[in-house]
Structure formats: structure tokens, C-alpha cells
């Protein structure tokens, strides 16, 4: 409509307004930034179309654009063991699956490149344009990960793991000093990797990544907090994730996870903490006061956490939240799954509330539009991505995915169409309505994703292997 803005706007943490741009003109410059937007009703007289008649791409009926997804929490090396061993509790699973997968990649750069290349391909297929990653402990393996993402054209925030304590003697850094030297060297090399490129082409960045409290001595955490502050680096970790983990920290460290991170200056406005399922409302307020963001990973929480994340409460308190897949603590790399699971989990909590099991006045359920917001703009905000990332507003990079609900099939005459992924009636789907987008959100899949761009560059899902 004429007054609609082309974005998924947050309305100060109340449910976002639904501003479905029912057609419009988006103009992208050579650097991949959106420089102009016109709603559909003024397009016919657009000076842009007059000036550049040959550079116009018009979407066919049944197609629409949305911003790319943002995955705020994914363990790249664990992609190797995706979907295995989830019967175990977290601390056992880490020891028996996660650490092994990571160690294998650190020992085998050829395998690492293969796994990471496949990972990049899958991310593109699933519409994920920006991803905050945990890597492994070895510097070189993380450099491979960064290289692969940069050349695939994905925004990748690469966390070289810091861990000077481990349950696996063969998978640990030699000492606290060695660990600190390694992350310093990694951040320097990452600067070297993209430093010669213009800013908008620098897609990868290093992230200070203490794995979680149980694998990091206080001395290491202190050093990492200082390094991040001195060099203005991003930080990520796992906070208050699982019952066994929380108990471990209480027993071994005599305090809560959040206290350990806080006293070591690891809760900053450049921090994203995964899970936070065991944080109560006062603790969520502390996270908000540090302007630290949270990666909500509902599937992983269902297996490992014993407790669902207080999503509605976090949003109401003004915490910045996005979604994460937590590969391989979660088995699905698809943010569409994470969106659906976030809604499901919140609805179960709302059900518990209405039966008096959760004391709260507010409705705890989120709807599909809020989930879509978390997966796009919410994640972009949590990462502090370039201005407006996750929206189609002027000044934002053009990070977009093209969704196709149906294809007209000329061979069968007018009115017939090829269904992609799920059944719809093209008479309902064209022009695009909110109902059709909702249907796609519920039952669409990667077959409906026909193109993707990051910073205006169209990505290929053909593997680079």
C-alpha cells in the first residue's frame, strides 16, 4: 500500500508492525547498497526506470523478496556430526561428539575445507546470509573457515575457540598464555585477509570466543575480556545453557555463569551469548544493561537445556534477540526451522501460563511475524550489522532472498502453474497477500528459494570445492 514502509520494523519491542511491501522498486548501487525505494504505485513514472531501462529486473508473479536470514549461533566443525548423539546430556555429548568432530578437523585441513565448503553451500540454500560461528581451537582451521565464507560471499563472524581446560586431553590449548597468543595471532591474520578490500567487501571478521565457562580458566577469561576491549572485538560464548552445565559452574566456580562473564568484561555491546535459558528476569535485565545480545536456539534447548528460554520476557525487557541453529546441538541448519520452533516453544510456554504454571500477566507466545523479524532484522541488530541490514531501507546493504511460490507453466497454457514445495492456488497467491507469506513461512522450504544476494552480489549455491 502507499503508506507502507519496505521493512520489518520493530515497534519498540511490542510485536513488530506488519509492513508487507506489496511490490516496489528497489535500486541497488554498484557497492551493493540500497539507494532508493519506491512503492508500487509510483513506479510507472520512476526516473530510475527511465534512466536505466536495461538494468531492471522484474520479479514474476508468485515471487517476492525478503531479507536474508541471520544465524547467530552455529558450530561450523560440528556440521560433520549433525544429527548424531542427541540422546546424551550436554556435558557428555560435548565429550563424545563435539570435541571429537572439532579435533578431527583441526588434524585434517583438507577435510576442514571440504566440510566448510559444504556448510557454505547449505547456508546459501537455506537463505542464511550472515552467520556467527564457533570454529575450533586451531588457528589455521579457522582461517580456512573464514576464507571459504569470504569467497562464498557470506557474512561470517568466525570464532576461534579459546579453551585452556577440557575433558579431552588431546583437544585443549597448551596453556593460558598459548591460548591468548593464538587468538591474538588469529585476529591479526584475519585483518590481513580482508584488510586490502574496501570496507563493504570485508565479509568476515574474527570473534573472541571463550567456549563456555567450564573450559576457560579465570585467567584466560580475564585476558580475553581485556583483548576484546583493547581491540574493540566481538565476543561470543554460551551462557546459562543447560542444567548440568549451570550446576558444574556453581560447584566448580562457586558462582553463576553470568557473574563469571560479567567480572571478566565479557558482557559488552559487541557480545552475543547463546541460549541463556537459565536466566531469570533480573539476570535478563543485566544482560540488557550491558547491551549484550542473545542467540535463541530453541531446538538445541529442547534437547540440552531442560528449560525453555524466556523469549517473551527477554523481548519485553528490551534484550536484543536473534535466532541460532546451534549446529550440531540442534540438527537443522535451516533458520526456517528455528523460527517455527521458536513459535512452538513460546506457545507451549503460553499454554503453561494459562494453566497457572508460569506466573506472568503477559501472553508468552510469539507469532510467525515476530519470528520472521528475529530471523532477519533481529539477528542483524544483535550483530550490529551495517546500517539497516535485515531491512530494505535506503542505506542498507542489499542482503535478500527471492522466494518463489509458484511458476507459471507456459507449456500447459494460461492458468496452469508448477507448484514449488507446497500447494497453493495462484489465484490466491497473486497478487501476493499476507496469507500467502504466512503459508510459505509454515510449509515452504528451500525449493521456494530461487536466488540470494549479500551486499548486492548474487550468490551461487554451486559448491566451490
Q: Given the rule CB under 6 A, which residues bind ligand GUN?
A: 75, 90, 94, 98, 211-212, 238, 241, 300, 304, 326, 329
Q: Considering beta carbons, is residue 29 or 252 the nearer one to ligand GUN?
A: 252
The residue with its CB nearest to Fe ion is: 326
Q: Cα separation of 396 and 102, whole Å?
A: 36
290 binds, among ligand GUN, Fe ion, none (CB under 5 to 8 A by kind): none
CB of 215 to ligand GUN, least distance (A): 7
Instruction: Please choose, from the candidates 297, 322, 319, 291, the residue with its C-alpha nearest in 3D space to the C-alpha of residue 309.
Output: 297
CB of 235 to ligand GUN, least distance (A): 15
CB of 75 to Fe ion, least distance (A): 6
98 binds, among ligand GUN, Fe ion, none (CB under 5 to 8 A by kind): ligand GUN
Judged by CB under 5 A, the stretch of 26-34, 196-204, 320-328, 331-339 that binds Fe ion is: 320-328
The CB-based long-range contact list for 433-436 (8 Å cut-off, 24+ gap) reads 434/18, 434/20, 436/405
Class of residue 12 by CB neighbours under 10 A (exposed 0-12, middle 13-18, buried 19+): exposed
Does 326 bind Fe ion (CB under 5 A)? Our answer is yes
212 binds, among Fe ion, ligand GUN, none (CB under 5 to 8 A by kind): ligand GUN
In degrees, to the nearest 5, what angle opens at C-alpha 261 toward C-alphas 256 and 262? Answer: 95
Q: Considering beta carbons, is residue 214 or 380 the nearer one to ligand GUN?
A: 214
Q: Which of residues 205-244 bind Fe ion (CB under 5 A)?
A: none
Q: Considering beta carbons, is residue 211 or 369 the nearer one to Fe ion?
A: 211
CB of 241 to ligand GUN, least distance (A): 6
CB of 329 to Fe ion, least distance (A): 5
Q: Cα separation of 113 and 418, whole Å?
A: 37
At 152, list the grid cell. Answer: 562464498
**Positive/negative CA dihedral, 403, 423, 82, 273:** positive
Residues 6+ apart with CB under 8 A from 403: 63, 64, 65, 66, 440, 444, 448, 449, 450
Q: Considering beta carbons, is residue 71 or 326 the nearer one to Fe ion?
A: 326
Give one DSSP letter per residue of 7-38, joined into a string: S---BTTBPPP-----SEEEEE-TTSBEEEEE
Residues 6+ apart with CB under 8 A from 236: 73, 132, 134, 157, 159, 207, 208, 209, 271, 272, 273, 274, 295
Judged by CB under 5 A, the stretch of 13-21, 149-157, 303-311, 321-329 that binds Fe ion is: 321-329
94 binds, among ligand GUN, Fe ion, none (CB under 5 to 8 A by kind): ligand GUN
Q: Considering beta carbons, is residue 81 or 440 the nearer one to ligand GUN?
A: 81
Does 71 bind Fe ion (CB under 5 A)? Our answer is no
Q: Cβ–Cβ contacts within 10 Å for residue 348, how many?
A: 14
Binding site for Fe ion (CB under 5 A): 326
Amino acid at each position: 500500500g502507499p503508506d507502507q514502509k519496505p521493512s520489518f520494523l520493530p515497534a519498540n519491542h511490542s510485536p513488530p508492525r506488519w509492513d508487507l511491501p506489496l511490490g516496489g522498486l528497489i535500486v541497488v548501487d554498484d557497492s551493493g547498497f540500497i539507494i532508493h525505494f519506491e512503492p508500487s504505485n509510483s513506479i510507472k513514472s520512476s526516473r530510475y526506470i527511465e534512466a536505466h531501462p536495461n538494468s531492471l529486473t522484474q520479479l514474476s508473479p508468485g515471487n517476492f523478496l525478503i531479507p536474508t536470514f541471520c544465524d547467530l549461533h552455529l558450530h561450523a566443525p560440528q556440521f560433520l556430526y549433525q544429527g548424531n548423539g542427541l540422546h546424551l546430556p550436554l556435558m557428555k555429548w560435548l565429550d563424545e561428539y563435539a570435541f571429537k568432530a572439532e579435533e578431527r578437523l583441526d588434524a585434517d585441513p583438507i577435510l576442514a575445507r571440504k566440510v566448510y565448503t559444504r556448510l557454505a553451500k547449505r547456508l546459501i540454500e537455506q537463505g542464511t546470509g550472515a552467520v556467527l560461528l564457533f570454529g575450533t581451537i586451531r588457528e589455521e582451521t579457522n582461517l580456512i573457515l573464514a576464507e571459504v565464507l569470504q569467497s562464498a560471499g557470506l557474512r561470517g563472524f568466525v570464532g576461534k575457540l579459546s579453551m585452556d581446560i577440557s575433558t579431552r586431553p588431546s583437544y585443549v590449548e597448551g596453556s593460558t598464555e598459548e591460548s591468548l597468543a593464538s587468538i591474538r595471532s588469529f585476529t591479526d591474520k584475519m585483518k590481513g585477509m580482508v584488510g586490502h578490500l574496501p570496507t563493504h567487501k570485508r565479509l568476515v571478521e574474527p570473534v573472541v570466543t571463550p567456549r563456555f565457562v567450564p573450559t576457560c580458566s579465570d585467567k584466560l577469561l580475564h585476558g580475553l575480556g581485556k583483548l576484546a576491549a583493547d581491540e574493540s572485538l566481538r565476543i561470543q560464548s554460551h551462557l546459562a545453557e543447560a542444567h548440568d552445565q549451570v550446576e558444574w559452574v556453581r560447584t566448580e566456580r562457586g558462582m553463576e555463569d553470568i557473574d563469571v562473564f560479567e567480572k571478566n568484561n565479557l558482557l559488552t555491546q559487541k557480545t552475543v551469548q547463546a541460549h541463556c535459558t537459565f536466566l531469570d528476569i533480573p539476570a535478563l535485565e543485566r544482560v540488557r544493561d550491558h547491551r549484550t545480545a542473545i542467540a535463541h536456539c530453541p531446538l538445541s534447548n529442547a534437547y540440552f537445556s531442560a528449560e525453555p528460554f524466556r523469549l517473551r520476557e527477554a523481548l519485553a525487557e528490551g534484550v536484543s534477540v536473534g535466532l541460532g541453529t546451534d549446529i550440531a546441538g540442534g540438527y537443522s541448519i535451516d533458520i526456517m526451522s528455528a523460527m517455527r520452533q521458536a513459535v512452538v516453544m513460546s506457545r507451549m510456554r503460553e499454554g503453561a501460563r494459562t494453566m497457572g504454571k508460569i506466573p506472568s500477566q503477559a501472553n508468552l507466545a510469539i507469532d510467525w511475524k515476530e519470528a520472521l523479524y528475529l530471523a532477519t532484522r533481529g539477528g542483524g541488530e544483535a550483530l550490529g550489522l551495517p546500517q539497516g541490514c535485515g531491512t530494505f531501507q535506503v542505506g542498507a546493504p542489499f542482503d535478500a532472498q527471492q522466494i518463489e511460490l509458484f511458476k507459471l507453466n507456459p507449456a500447459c497454457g494460461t492458468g496452469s502453474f508448477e507448484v514449488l514445495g507446497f500447494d497453493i492456488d495462484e489465484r490466491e497467491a497473486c497478487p501476493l497477500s499476507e496469507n500467502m507469506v504466512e503459508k510459505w513461512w509454515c510449509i515452504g522450504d528451500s525449493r521456494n528459494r530461487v536466488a540470494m544476494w549479500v551486499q548486492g552480489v548474487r550468490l551461487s549455491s554451486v559448491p566451490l570445492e
